[in-house]
Structure 1
Amino acid sequence: MMTRRNTLFSLAALPAALVGLRDLLAGSQAHAARAYEVTHTDAEWKKLLTPDQYSVLRKAGTETPYTSPLNKEKRAGIFSCAGCALPLFSSATKFESGTGWPSFWQPLDKAVVEESDTTLFMKRTEVLCRRCGGHLGHVFDDGPKPTGLRYCMNGVAMNFKAA
């Protein structure tokens, strides 16, 4: 039976529960256990990045599918981290996945690190920039040969430089 006292205690706990749910749904994770070459305070990252870049790279957000100009980029060149300019992917490994995000079958050597991601009630592999720890996207095992992998990246997390 719900008493007035139980109701008040439940309502008092609601704000904390909502914050936890918001963080879970946003996929925000702390990668404090790993040290990165490029580090900035949260305030510095906010000044260096656009709001969309900050949301994705620093808070593990996801851009809306089919909104990134990089999804349609077909020229030869290099895709680099928007946070620290580290080269991440060659256009030679880009393919059309039909997902709405730029997809690659392989990153450049020593460009990314991967971590387990259990947000959104599923197990995935998160892809981070090796140098600054920026969230780039996720990797899945449904890609083309030769690797069979699909690095599904947020276009807003990268810049492109034509060859």
Structure 2
Amino acid sequence: MKTTSFFFTLLLLPLFVFQACGQSKETKSNAMIPAETYQSKLGNPYYSHTDTTKLNLTDAEWKKILPEDVYLVSRKADTERPFTGKYWNTDVKGTYYCAACGNLLFRSGAKFASSCGWPSFFEQENKKSIVFKNDNSIGMERIEALCGRCGGHLGHLFDDGPAPTGKRYCMNSIALDFVPDAK
């Protein structure tokens, strides 16, 4: 009986570990296409890399314009499974934007390799690009990172990152759009 219980615990352990950065729900990953091209196909009239006007849309409006996987993460705070997102293990130079609204979030120079399975950054682009709120949703104290323009869930902020900030912005790939630098 103890052996069965031990093996059952080993099988369930990864489910609990995946909860560290949020609720574990698998999301679809899109190919690495330039963000403006991808979003223009979706017909999102609020998507912009230059407009910083705060957005205040209803949940129903977001549900109409966002793909389901982006909607679930951005508006419902779901989290993609670790090591499955399109940006967790890339070192291509470029710029990361909010997948819901196009707000500039990070430059690739602030990205670092972490072992958490999600894209990690040590610094946001500017003080207004990301805002924060306390998150106790899974029984542990965390700091939720939200887009400064649309309020969409991006991931969480932790104090275990590298110098110079000591911060780790643990982001969902599905919440990010990436535009590579021109060659």
Give yes or no for TM over 0.5. Answer: yes
Q: State how 1:59-70 maps to structure 2 within 5 Å.
A: 59-70=76-87
Deviation per CA, 1:28-71, whole angstroms, max 9, x where unpaired? xxxxxxxx811222222112211111111001111111111111
Q: Work out the CA distance in 2 between the residues paired with 1:81 and 1:54.
A: 12
Partner of 1:138: 156
Q: State how 1:124-135 maps to structure 2 within 5 Å.
A: 124-135=142-153
Richer in helix (by share):
1
Work out the percentage of aligned pairs sharing the same amino acid: 49
TM-score by length of 2: 0.68
TM-score by length of 1: 0.76
5+ residue gaps, structure 2, are: 1-21, 25-52
Partner of 1:99: 116
Match for residue 135 of structure 2 among 117, 133, 150: 117
Partner of 2:55: 38
Are residues 91 and 119 of structure 1, via their aligned partners in 2, closer, same or farther at CA, if it must alter by over 3 Å?
same
5+ residue gaps, structure 1, are: 1-24, 28-35
* 3-state SS of paired residue (1:71): coil
CA displacement at 1:100 relative to structure 2: 0.7
Q: Work out the CA distance in 2 between the residues paired with 1:69 and 1:42.
A: 26
Q: Work out the CA distance in 2 between the residues paired with 1:40 and 1:61.
A: 19
Q: What's the C-alpha RMSD, in Å, of the aligned pairs?
A: 1.7
* 3-state SS of paired residue (1:152): strand
Count of residue correspondences = 131
Q: Work out the CA distance in 1 between the residues paired with 2:135 and 2:65.
A: 26
Q: Work out the CA distance in 2 between the residues paired with 1:150 and 1:102.
A: 9
Match for residue 84 of structure 1 among 70, 84, 101: 101
| Rg (Cα) greater in structure | 1
